[in-house]
Amino acid sequence: MKFRQEEELVDFRRKKSSPLPPLLIDGRRVEIVHHFTFLGSTICNNLKSELNIDTIVKKAQQRLYFLRRLRSFCLTTQIMLTFYRAAIEIILTFSITIWFGSITVKENLRLNRVVTTASRIFGRDLPLKSLHQQRLLGRASLIS
């Protein structure tokens, strides 16, 4: 297994008037990047979630194709719902407790469009906001 020679660094300064001097860790230069993917979530140096939402929506839309195929085979709603939860909802809700509170209205509409499309496929309401609230309550109950 070969490791990359350079590490990555995200610059979170508000005023980026001058470039940062090179940062060295163990004699290796740390590369400055605009965004990177960490544990499946895309993190940008401006801390906006647009790139992360783009990735999430793209993955979810690709899997909607398979949900449509399941419907064409006349499978039961329960089987399609199980597939939706296992293949699509898991993508939409991965680390939702972290990023959902900071997304814009436009990003929320994009996510809800995927959920609405899935709910039309098998005729069942699937609200995304209630999933966020359920996950938050679940995390909060683990704290005490």
Check whether 132 has a pLDDT greater than 60.
Answer: yes
Q: What's the average model confidence in pLDDT over 98-103?
A: 80
The confidence band for 96, taking pLDDT boundaries of 50, 70 and 90, is confident
**What is the reported pLDDT for 11?**
66
Considering only residues 40 and 20, tell me which one the structure prediction assigns the higher pLDDT: 40
Give the pLDDT confidence of 103-114 residue by residue, as tens digits: 888 988 898 888
* 96 closest CA partner among 66, 47, 139: 139
DSSP string, 9-53: EE---S---SPPPPPEETTEEEEEESEEEETTEEEETT--SHHHH
Q: What is the pLDDT of residue 2?
A: 43
**pLDDT for the residue 62:** 93
pLDDT above 50 (res 9) = yes
| Domain-wise residue ranges, the chain | 7-42, 48-143
What's the pLDDT band for 8 if we cut at 50, 70, 90? low
Task: List b or e across 99-116, with b for residues whose CB sees 16 or more CB atoms inside 10 angstroms.
Answer: bbeebeeebeebbbebbe
Question: What percentage of the chain carries pLDDT values higher than 70?
Answer: 85
Q: Which residues pair with 36 in a beta bridge?
A: 43
Identify the helix (H) or strand (E) that includes residue 7. Answer: strand 7-10
Question: Hey, which residues does 10 pair with through a beta bridge?
Answer: 33
Q: Closest Cα to residue 138, out of 87, 86, 96? A: 96
